[in-house]
Amino acid sequence: MSFTDAAGRPSDAPALPYRSMCCFIVPPGVLKKYARDGAIDAATRKSLQDTYVETERLRGLREAHRIATLRDADRFLAGAAVHVPAQHLFDCMHRKALSGKPVTVPAGAFKTVFDTTAKVVEFYQTVLGRNSVDNKGFDLASSLHYAKNYDNAFWNGSQMVYGDGDGKLFGEMYLSPDVIGHELTHGVTQNLSALRYEGESGALNESISDVFGTVFNQWLNNWAVTEPRGWLVGAGIMAPPALAKGFTCLRDMVQPSGQHCLSPQPELYSQIDPTADVHENSGVPNKAFATFARAAGGQAWGNAIKAWYDTCVNRTLRSDATFSEFAALTIASALKIGGAALQSQCTGAWAEVGVAPASP
């Protein structure tokens, strides 16, 4: 039997590098704005200015720490033997205790998850040259049959967890290969930029999981960018009642606001609500990637995903990045990966969703 530790990590799994966190309730931009507001008394403005300076100092320290951690990891990796990631499967038996009962001989649903997870590892290794979520061969744990009628799948910081759905909206959540790719990619992001899970950075975190999840599904099925099914998120988890009502997916990266999406999303930056859930605002960068990959043509696991991955591993991608900052990095990556033509296609894709890239 295996249990999680206090951080929700399986006790028999290797520890993920734990990042120090430093979050601010009041955005620095708000502090800065009111520190310069003549309608506020001088003493309060002085206090706001001092707080703004301190938050900027702490943010600089946080970024320096993150980058130093990544560099140390690379140094460690250079001299280490390559570790091939193993898989661990668990049966929650409809309870909520993680990780659940170990499954030693995968069959049925467990074999499906085992095989698809192995394919995600192969995708990251062969297409992107990455060894599991941490690029050091991190062993992957998956728990199935989580809770009762649980209509969700999630990454808990160290493993993947799948519910069986409620039978009305969703069936078993592992039945879409892109969902397994999506959850595993959250582990990749956690080990790279650690995009903060709120606001625009949270929407980028979600979008990156949708992008790599769908491109993994395209690679798995050998679908070109012109195949509409390749851009659907969660097509395999929709339950018969939802399908009967015309909902064929959770999200569609080509047409985020489509009526066939159970979770329709805004398509333009000007339409997003900054306070909305991170899964709602991810439609804008999702559409930017789909537009970019379709303009590039061929297969999305060629230059298009390589440009996005180049941005994800870029040490200047901050954990609190905005759409605008992310766009600028992808455009630079596109130039590096595919030259001026790919750069132009990437620039055009961001323009189509109304995101202006940040100035360098």
Partner 1 sequence: MTEPADPARPAPRRVRIERRGGLAGLAVSAEHDVAALSAAQQQALGRVIEAAASERPARSRGAPPGADRFSYRLHVEDAAGGEQVIDLPEDAMPSALESLARPALP
- From the list 183, 267, 280, 325, the catalytic residue is 183
Does position 279 interact with partner 1 (CB under 8 A)? The reply is yes
Q: Which stretch binds partner 1 (CB under 8 A): 112-120, 276-284, 291-299, 300-308?
A: 276-284
What x/- string results for residues 87 through 116 when contact with partner 1 is judged by CB under 8 A? ---------x--------------------
Q: Which is nearer to partner 1, 137 or 264 (CB)?
A: 264
Q: Which is nearer to partner 1, 276 or 313 (CB)?
A: 276
- Distances from the Cα of 96 to the Cαs of 92, 149, 179, in angstroms? 7, 12, 20
- From the list 182, 279, 280, 325, the catalytic residue is 279
| The pair of three-digit structure tokens given for residue 147, joined into one six-digit string | 């809770």
Q: Which is nearer to partner 1, 52 or 216 (CB)?
A: 216
145 noted as active-site residue: no
What is the total residue count of the chain? Answer: 360
Q: Which is nearer to partner 1, 151 or 227 (CB)?
A: 151
Q: How far is the CB of 260 from partner 1 (least distance, A)?
A: 12
Q: Which of residues 134-173 bind partner 1 (CB under 8 A)?
A: 147, 151-158, 166, 168-170, 173
Q: How far is the CB of 321 from partner 1 (least distance, A)?
A: 16
**Rg of the chain (C-alpha set):** 21
Q: Which is nearer to partner 1, 280 or 310 (CB)?
A: 280
Q: Which is nearer to partner 1, 180 or 225 (CB)?
A: 180
| The pair of three-digit structure tokens given for residue 360, joined into one six-digit string | 């360098």
Q: How far is the CB of 238 from partner 1 (least distance, A)?
A: 10
Q: Is the dihedral of CA 235, 238, 242, 243 positive or negative?
A: positive
279 noted as active-site residue: yes
Q: Which of residues 220-249 bind partner 1 (CB under 8 A)?
A: 234, 241-242, 245, 247
| The pair of three-digit structure tokens given for residue 263, joined into one six-digit string | 């979770």
Identity at 277, one-letter amino acid code: D
Q: How far is the CB of 149 from partner 1 (least distance, A)?
A: 8
Q: Which residues form the catalytic set?
A: 183, 279
Contact set with partner 1 (CB under 8 A): 7-8, 96, 147, 151-158, 166, 168-170, 173, 179, 182-183, 186, 189-190, 197, 205-206, 209, 234, 241-242, 245, 247, 250, 262-263, 277-280
